[in-house]
Structure 1
Amino acid sequence: MHLLETYLPNVSEIPQEFVTATWQTLYMVFWTALVAGILGIALGVLLVVIRPDGLLANRGIYEVLDKLINIVRSIPFIILLTLLAVFTRFLVGTTIGEKAALVPLIIGVIPFFARQIENALLEVDPGVIEAAQAMGTSPAGIIFRVYLVEGLAGIIRASAVTIINVIGLTAMAGAVGAGGLGNLAITRGYNRFQTDVTLVATLLILVLVFISQFISNLVIKKISH
């Protein structure tokens, strides 16, 4: 404890704030990953099957969705936060706090994850898909029994990359009072010149990134054998 007070004096005064901030970050990451994950997979699958050479080809809808995803992905997240402020206030009644941050986080992550899923599913061997079609498998059957099964490793890799991206976005959301470790690093560390607070908050964010990457690597290794 003496060493903590000596080298991290400001951190030693606010241990509960670090606990609260960590839980806020985990809250944002969990719900963003869950909601954006489900919707992102659905959108990614849709993009694959309605491609001009897809199972349910529809060039018009594909072009619209493709351009919309590119537009949303090109908007810097900090700007997306402000653009969605009115919509966020309408949905949750405020633009401050971790619940308010979920709205722009989810909207910002869905197109990113959907594109990752699309790329992962496009790596599935076309020969397997053609074989399933030759056996009379329905489009739904091909989606669930071929694309999602054969592309599982790619989906997990895409999920890991997306979760790491979400952790980074929650830190950025902290800059506008969304709570979490990013908010603690800004309000306490940067604004009050408490460098040790910024350092520890950053280290905790890195720990979350390493843990998510470690778990995804374990899962990929398990399903690859």
Structure 2
Amino acid sequence: MSFLDELVTSPVIQEKLPEATLETLSMVGLSSLLTAVLGLPLGLLLAATARGGLTSNALVNRVVGLVANVVRSVPFLILMIAVIPFTRLLVGTSLGWEAAVVPLTIGAVPFFARLVETSVREVSPGKVEAARVIGATRFGIVAQVLVREALPALVASLTVTVIALVGYSAMAGVIGGGGLGALAISYGYQRFDPPVMVACVVVIVLIVVVVQAVGDAVARRLDHR
């Protein structure tokens, strides 16, 4: 039997690949949503408290920035293991895709927050000053000027983060996180089944390609420059 025939007729691929794909999509989707909800305000806080920001505060900026940098510097595999007690506290277990959402979110939030900070800093200072002149509040400047003007860059940043989460989700399979990573390790690697490994890689690549294409399309649609 040829390799292509094995790829098509493999019972593991037929029975377990769809379920593993759904788990990966669920894992990445939920962690991406949580990352956007938590990372956006954190990134805005970093930008606002930086020197020359709307509410410049060196102490807050340094503390928040230090925490973000420390979490970002921890390799994801080590982070997953380190937060297992916290994961069990929140979810009740450290196994399955639901449990993997916790370390995925913790690892991605500071990464996305730094991208948000960079995106917001690229907004023209002139537009911020114009909003101040007409009496806009700080919240109004953040919501109506900074976020609105940086929206295409924010979408691009979120796209990069989601793609990173796809890669992280595959690593989550090492400690029983479920999804395509767990399938590739359990069957493709440990049971010496190359077609399963190839199938998992192909699906992951397709997910990344689709996410990138959608993100690019949305960013272009929002960019009115």
TM-score of the two chains, using structure 2 as the length reference: 0.95
Q: What amino acid is aligned across from residue 220 of structure 2 in structure 1?
A: K
Q: What amino acid is aligned across from residue 173 of structure 1 in structure 2?
A: A
Q: What amino acid is aligned across from residue 38 of structure 2 in structure 1?
A: L
Offset of residue 6 of structure 1: 2.3
Aligned partner of residue 114 in structure 1, secondary structure: helix
Residue 8 (structure 1) aligned with residue 7 (structure 2): yes
Q: Percent identity?
A: 39
Q: What amino acid is aligned across from residue 27 of structure 2 in structure 1?
A: M
Alignment of 1:182-197 (within 5 A): 182-197=181-196
Cα deviation per residue 1:6-43 (whole Å; 9 max; x = unaligned)?
Answer: 24267344412101000000000110010111110010
C-alpha distance in 2, partners of 1:54/1:199?
48
Q: What amino acid is aligned across from residue 212 of structure 1 in structure 2?
A: V
Alignment of 1:194-205 (within 5 A): 194-205=193-204
Q: Is the contact made by 2:27 and 2:101 (CA closer than 8 Å) also made in structure 1?
A: yes
Alignment of 1:48-197 (within 5 A): 48-197=47-196
Q: Is the contact made by 1:10 and 1:196 (CA closer than 8 Å) also made in structure 2?
A: no
Alignment of 1:203-218 (within 5 A): 203-218=202-217
Out of 181-190 and 88-97, give the one that drifted further: 88-97
Cα deviation per residue 1:99-125 (whole Å; 9 max; x = unaligned)?
Answer: 110111111110000001000101100
C-alpha distance in 2, partners of 1:11/1:93?
34
C-alpha distance in 2, partners of 1:49/1:141?
13
Q: What amino acid is aligned across from residue 200 of structure 2 in structure 1?
A: A
C-alpha distance in 1, partners of 2:115/2:189?
34
Q: What amino acid is aligned across from residue 122 of structure 1 in structure 2?
A: R
Q: Is the contact made by 2:13 and 2:199 (CA closer than 8 Å) also made in structure 1?
A: no
Cα gap change, 1:35 to 1:177, in 2 (>3 Å)? same
C-alpha distance in 1, partners of 2:205/2:169?
13
TM-score of the two chains, using structure 1 as the length reference: 0.95
Residue 23 (structure 1) aligned with residue 39 (structure 2): no
In structure 1, stretches of 5+ residues that fail to align are none
Cα deviation per residue 1:135-159 (whole Å; 9 max; x = unaligned)?
Answer: 1111000001000110001101101
C-alpha distance in 1, partners of 2:44/2:71?
18
Cα deviation per residue 1:48-83 (whole Å; 9 max; x = unaligned)?
Answer: 111121111111011001111110000000000110
Out of 174-183 and 4-13, give the one that drifted further: 4-13
